[in-house]
Amino acid sequence: MNRIVRTEHLNIPSSIDQIEKVDSLVETLAASLGFGHDALADIGICVTELVMNAIVHAHKEDAEIPVDIDILCCDDGLRISVRDYGPGFETNHVPDPTSPERLFDDHGRGILIVKTMMDDVKCTRLDDGMKIEIFKKLNESSK
Amino acid sequence: MKLKTREQSDVMIVELSGKIMGGPESVQFHDTIKQAIGANRKRVVIDLGEVEWMNSSGIGLLVSAYTTLKNAGCDLKLARTTDKIQSLLVITKLNSVFDSHSSVDGAIQSFN
Ligand SMILES: Nc1ncnc2c1ncn2[C@@H]1O[C@H](COP(=O)(O)OP(=O)(O)O)[C@@H](O)[C@H]1O
Ligand SMILES: [Mg+2]
């Protein structure tokens, strides 16, 4: 890993109304690191996907259960980890939302979008939950 | 997300703006689509020009509008689809499902 410029930690209750706050902090930090408009959108999209999944799928919106979000601003890019305390899931076995029988479903596209938009995605199944780490590279095309 | 509706040439225009990231606002969107069907609006345009970005929740809203309207015998067009939304439609292989136009007027004219 490269040099860490700044770190932030968020511990939020599992309530959907937290999502805007998380996005706004993450995008502010990413902007101060030098990410441009287009990359900021990618980052906002992906962090809201993961935090929504933790709130809705892992914790069934039980506000008592927290979601832990770590934001690492590094000189080579932004690293964010989203950690939940749910049952976990196999990220490589999520059904393909582009298959003909799922194409018109109104859900099921979040993980695909995150994997496509981020430069690196690491999913770890823990004894008591799930940790998903994403990385967006800071370079000429993302500035 | 903010949502506004207006009428133009017997077409219902649904204007979305801001960031579409899922949450209570989805209910308002579904209600609007149902209203369009209830009011016998056969043609609906969703104007995406002022949307900053959307995540998969937003894509889910577009797909559900498409199916709900289609099942009711109504027609949906997208207008001013941003590059970011277009790339999401490509990633999710929905780009060929939607009929997208670069202007609202263009979308309205395409119904005829
Ligand atoms: N943090 C999580 N904990 C448990 N299951 C999850 C989690 N995130 C995702 N999933 C599972 O993976 C599926 C796919 O997630 P996603 O691609 O975001 O689609 P969606 O959230 O629209 O269902 C979810 O439906 C859920 O079953
Ligand atoms: Mg999801």
- What average pLDDT does the segment A117-121 reach? 98
- What average pLDDT does the segment A37-51 reach? 98
| CATH for A115 | 3.30.565.10
Structure letter (DSSP) for residue A94: S
- What average pLDDT does the segment B95-105 reach? 97
End-to-end CA distance of chain B: 30
| CATH for B86 | 3.30.750.24
- Tell whether ligand 1 has an atom less than 6 A from the beta carbon of residue A89: yes
In this predicted model, what pLDDT tens digit does every residue of B41-90 receive, in sequence order?
A: 899 999 999 999 999 999 999 999 999 999 999 999 999 999 999 999 99
* Element holding B107 (H helix, E strand): helix B104-109
Domain that holds residue B68: 2-109
pTM, full prediction: 0.97
* Spatial CB neighbours of A113, under 8 Å, sequence gap ≥ 6: A45, A46, A49, B55, B56, B88, B91, B92
In this predicted model, what pLDDT tens digit does every residue of B6-33 receive, in sequence order?
A: 999 999 999 999 999 988 889 999 999 9
How many structural domains compose chain B? 1
- Provide, as residue numbers in chain B, all residues whose Cβ is less than 8 Å from the Cβ of A48: 21-22, 55
How many structural domains compose chain A? 1
- What average pLDDT does the segment A79-106 reach? 97
Decide if B54 and A106 are in contact by the 8 Å CB cutoff. no
- Cβ contacts below 8 Å, chain A against chain B, sum to 69
Rounded CA-CA distance B5/A71 in Å is 38
Give exposure, A7-39, as e/b (b: 16+ Cβ within 10 Å): eeebebebebebbeebbeebbebbeebebeeeb
- Provide, as residue numbers in chain A, all residues whose Cβ is less than 8 Å from the Cβ of B64: 106
Report the chain B residue with the minimal C-alpha distance to residue A109: B56
Residue B27 pLDDT: 93
Cβ atoms within 10 Å, residue A66: 16
Domain that holds residue A102: 4-142
Report the chain A residue with the minimal C-alpha distance to residue B65: A106
Decide if B21 and A44 are in contact by the 8 Å CB cutoff. yes
